[in-house]
Amino acid sequence: VQLQASGGGSVQFGGSLRLSCVASGFTLDDYAIGWFRQAPGKEREGVSCISSGEGRIYYADSAKDRFSISRDNAKNTAYLQMSNLKPEDTAVYYCAALSGPDLGASLLRLWPLMAIYDYWGHGTQVTVSS
């Protein structure tokens, strides 16, 4: 089982990036996928999550209206489209996969918790300059 995140880079304030998270060794649709980020000197925090199956979507307040999570099951890939980027979005971004049955309504409360995820990819650096 492997997750590979990519798509990071350096952009200016207001720019856009699309991060990809390619899954290998498992079927992405069977897992909830979370995106997290960790800025220098700060704890890792949840950015967004898409559930398995029906694909319910959750966002951190910092990501609402600017970020969009999606999943292409045919490519076994999840995405995080980021727009209107700000310097405070600068961080290493990680994707993570949560196995097991859909948590249903509980995922709304649990998705930002790192401990519930079973697999993690290596991060991809996003740098936003002012």
What per-residue confidence (pLDDT) applies to 39?
97
Alpha helices in 60-121 (DSSP H): 107-110
What per-residue confidence (pLDDT) applies to 40?
93
Helix (H, G, I), strand (E, B), or coil: what is residue 85? Answer: coil
pLDDT tens-digit series, residues 41-100: 999 999 999 999 889 999 999 999 999 999 999 999 999 999 999 999 999 999 999 998
27 vs 14: CA distance, rounded Å: 34
* Locus of tokens 């890939």: 77
Contact in structure between 109 and 35 (CB atoms under 8 Å): no
What per-residue confidence (pLDDT) applies to 42?
97
128 vs 91: CA distance, rounded Å: 9
